[in-house]
Structures are given as C-alpha cells and as structure tokens.
Amino acid sequence: MRNILKAILASKKIFIILFIGFLLTTLPILIALSTQSYYDDHFYQSKNGYFKNYTSVKLTNFQNLDLNEVQKMAETNFKNASVITGDISATEPRIGEIQIVGMLNHKNWTPPLIKGSNITSDRANEIVVGRLVSDHIGAVNLLGKNYMIKGIAGKDLGDELINVYNFKMYVNLNELPENVIQAIKKQNTLQLIVRSNQNPETEINRFISEITQYNVGINAKIIDETENYQKEKKSRQGVNEVLSYPYKLFLIALINCINVSYLWIYLKRKEISLRKAIGASNLNLLTYIISQLTICAVLAGMSSILIQWLLSKLSLRILDVTSYYISVSFSHFVYGTLITLVISVITSIIPFFQMMKIEPAKALKE
C-alpha cells in the first residue's frame, strides 16, 4: 500500500486530473438517480400512490347500484389491496374541474398530507382535498353536498409533488356527490383500480364473486395495468430529456478518464518497462494499475456523495431553477461505490492493453 501511495504522489498532477474526471463521472450519475427517483415518485403520486401491482376492474350492466353495498364488499374482501375509483371529473362553479377519487377501503391507503388528518369514518362526509380545492380544514359545500374537510393532500417535497393533488378530492365511495352518483348510474359503469404490493388476484376474484351474487348479470372486465403504467412512465419526454444531460456528461467524463489514464501509462512506460525487466507479470502490473485507479476512483466517489449531500440541503431551490432534484439515500451510496469501482476497472482496460505492448528494452532506451 505504501508503494502504491508513493506512486500516486509521484504522479500527482495526472492523478488530480483523474480525480476530477472520476468526480465528473460519478456525480452526474448520482444526480440522475436522485432526479429519476423524484420524477418516478411524482408519476406514482399522480396515480394516487406507489404499489407493485395495479389492476383495473370495470363493472358494467348493474341492475341495482348500491354504493354502500359495494363499499362493504370491498372492505370485507380486500385485506391487503387498496381500492379506489378512477379519477372522476366534476365541475364546481367556484373552483373549476375537480378530480374526485372514491375510496372503497380507506384504511389500506390514504393520500399524503401537508396539513390535517386523513378520513377516519365511513359515514361522516369526511373528505381530503387538494390545496386549490380548499386551503383550510373545516366544513365546506362542494358539488351541492356538505362535507367536512379533514386534511389537505400533498407531498411536502416541493411544488411539483404538491401540485399533483391541487384539484383532487378524496371521499368514501358511499359519500360521493349526488350528481356523480347519478352519472355513474346513467353510464351503468363503475371503474375501480386495485393497487397492492402482493398479487391481488385472489382478493379480486372473491370480490367479483360476491358482487355478482348480489347483482346477477353484472359484467366485470379485469386488466393488469402494471405494465401499462411502466410504459407510460418511461414515455415521459420531458423527464427523459432532463435525465439525458447527466448521462451525456457521464460519457464525456468517462472518455476523458480513459484518455488521461492512457497518458498516465505513457508517462510511466519506463517504470513499467523496468518492472517487466525484473520479472513482473502482466497480472502483477494490472493489479498495480487497478489499485491506483481504484484509490483515485473511491476518493472521487466519496467526494461525489459529500457534494451531493451538501447540494441536497438546497434541493428544492435547485429543483425550481434546474429541474434536477438532489437527495441522498443508502441506495445512492451503494450505487456510487459500485459506479466508482466499475469506472476504475473500465479506465484500466485500455491502459492495460497498452502496457502489454511495451517492450522493456525499447522503452528504457528512450
């Protein structure tokens, strides 16, 4: 180790350049990872929460639609899954268009809040709304019905994650506004979304079986939406464009690291020739090269994580100005460490092949 450190100090100018290169390689990746996590969170919040599985259940051909019974069946049959309606659009004259989400089992999932508390009762006309529907907790009349606002929905991680909920209204299915209930009955269709971190197939089948016994002739169309959500998430052009720049910087910095390491081998060709002349094998020389580059890469990785941590203190300001969100997590630390190790190996490959071509006698004569 002492010899390796001495070798690094002997070529400190080159290693400073390499350090900067490694830093500019690792930091953009870490920023891209945290930014992608932020926008993925934003996407799933727009879908009313993150779950591993999403299934749409479209119920049609009701003979008698009793929302109280539907809600009771959902609460009985769905112990692990969260069940909500698809977004239902309705117009409130004082506000404009509101997206209403009917909750069939609010105990399994509730929206994040920036103020207040979540729905606790099935019968008290309790609702949670976005801040542009109402910015205060208390009694309110919405869509011709009196409600009690329990909380203001939003995730307190910048305006983007709060704005997702601005025009949302969360209410138990059996407490929907009358005009919305009449619209559902007229269309004879009730669109439900089943979200779960486990396979919801058994609970869905049990629910469908019970509801068809209650409502003979009802049709149920079940579609696994998980893959569709993934495709939709990956097709966001604005997010993809924002994320493309850190990866481009990563590639440029990586190429520069390889070029600098190539120059480093060229400047050390006499030392390498001497080591070859006294019997050092290619494996020994590869270990010698990788150990030095790994030390440099790990130092750059640790510095990248430190810089990211410092920038995370200003993450919301940076997000407003640049559209990049910077955060630090254990997974980012692991990714940063792995990235630096991979980079050190990649930057060793070309110098290693160049090193194998060095002829000791010819290099020592130069």
Cα angle at 200 between 222 and 64, to 5 degrees?
50
What's the rounded mean pLDDT across residues 141-146?
90
User: What is residue 161's predicted lDDT score, i.e. its pLDDT?
Assistant: 61
Res 100 pLDDT > 80: yes
Tell me: do 73 and 23 sit in the same domain: no
Q: Among 42-46, 91-95, 179-183, 313-317, which is the least confidently predicted range?
A: 313-317
- DSSP 8-state class, residue 359: -
Output the average pLDDT for the chain: 82
The verdict on residue 101 lying in a domain is yes
Q: Give the C-alpha separation, 106 to 122, whole Å.
A: 9
The verdict on residue 289 lying in a domain is yes
What's the rounded mean pLDDT across residues 247-267?
74
Res 118 pLDDT > 80: yes
Res 362 pLDDT > 60: no
Model confidence pLDDT, tens digit, residues 21-60: 778 878 888 888 888 888 888 899 889 989 999 999 999 8
Res 104 pLDDT > 80: yes
Tell me: do 347 and 247 sit in the same domain: yes
Tell me: do 254 and 140 sit in the same domain: no
User: What is residue 207's predicted lDDT score, i.e. its pLDDT?
Assistant: 92
Tell me: do 209 and 309 sit in the same domain: no
User: What is residue 61's predicted lDDT score, i.e. its pLDDT?
Assistant: 86
Dihedrals phi, psi of 109, to nearest 5 degrees: -160, 140
What's the rounded mean pLDDT across residues 60-77?
86
Tell me: do 68 and 39 sit in the same domain: no
What's the rounded mean pLDDT across residues 163-176?
90
Tell me: do 272 and 180 sit in the same domain: no
Tell me: do 352 and 244 sit in the same domain: yes
Q: Give the C-alpha separation, 24 to 13, whole Å.
A: 17
Model confidence pLDDT, tens digit, residues 291-342: 777 787 788 888 888 888 888 888 878 877 888 888 887 777 777 767 777 7
Helix orientation angle between 12-46 and 237-267, rounded to the nearest 10 degrees: 170
What's the rounded mean pLDDT across residues 197-218?
88
User: What is residue 150's predicted lDDT score, i.e. its pLDDT?
Assistant: 93
The verdict on residue 51 lying in a domain is no
User: What is residue 246's predicted lDDT score, i.e. its pLDDT?
Assistant: 80
The last residue of one of the domains, among 191, 217, 243, is: 217
Asked if 333 and 327 touch (Cβ cutoff 8 Å), the reply is no
User: What is residue 356's predicted lDDT score, i.e. its pLDDT?
Assistant: 66
Pairing mode of beta strands 168-172, 96-103? parallel
The verdict on residue 40 lying in a domain is yes
Tell me: do 213 and 66 sit in the same domain: yes
Q: Among 6-10, 216-220, 309-313, 318-322, which is the least confidently predicted range?
A: 6-10
User: What is residue 99's predicted lDDT score, i.e. its pLDDT?
Assistant: 94
Q: Among 19-23, 72-76, 167-171, which is the least confidently predicted range?
A: 19-23
Tell me: do 103 and 210 sit in the same domain: yes
For the chain, how many structural domains are there in total?
Answer: 2
Is the full-model pTM beyond 0.75? yes
Res 363 pLDDT > 50: no
The verdict on residue 53 lying in a domain is no
Tell me: do 118 and 193 sit in the same domain: yes
Tell me: do 153 and 67 sit in the same domain: yes
Tell me: do 337 and 210 sit in the same domain: no
User: What is residue 9's predicted lDDT score, i.e. its pLDDT?
Assistant: 67
The verdict on residue 230 lying in a domain is no
Asked if 169 and 99 touch (Cβ cutoff 8 Å), the reply is yes
Give, for 148, the enclosing helix (H) or strand (E).
strand 145-153
The last residue of one of the domains, among 169, 184, 217, is: 217
Q: Give the C-alpha separation, 39 to 203, whole Å.
A: 31
The verdict on residue 49 lying in a domain is no
Report the percentage of the chain scoring pLDDT > 70. 85
Dihedrals phi, psi of 320, to nearest 5 degrees: -65, -35
Cα angle at 283 between 279 and 287, to 5 degrees?
110
The last residue of one of the domains, among 186, 217, 248, is: 217
33 against 7, higher pLDDT: 33
Which domain range does residue 355 map to?
A: 2-44+235-365
User: What is residue 195's predicted lDDT score, i.e. its pLDDT?
Assistant: 95
User: What is residue 247's predicted lDDT score, i.e. its pLDDT?
Assistant: 79
Report the percentage of the chain scoring pLDDT > 90. 26
- Confidence band of 68 (pLDDT split at 50, 70, 90): confident
336 against 176, higher pLDDT: 176
The verdict on residue 57 lying in a domain is no
DSSP letter for each residue of 81-143: SEEEEPPEEEEETTTEEEEEEEES-TTT----EEEE-----SSS-EEEE-TTT-SS-EEEEET
Query: b/e string for 120-149 if b means 16 or more Cβ within 10 A?
Result: eebeeebbbbbbbbbeebeeeebbebebeb
In sequence order, the β-bridge partners of residue 147 are 140
Res 122 pLDDT > 70: no
Q: Among 10-19, 147-156, 213-222, 266-275, which is the least confidently predicted range?
A: 266-275
Measured CA distances, 300 to 293, 297, 306, 343, 345 (Å): 10, 5, 10, 11, 14
Res 217 pLDDT > 60: yes
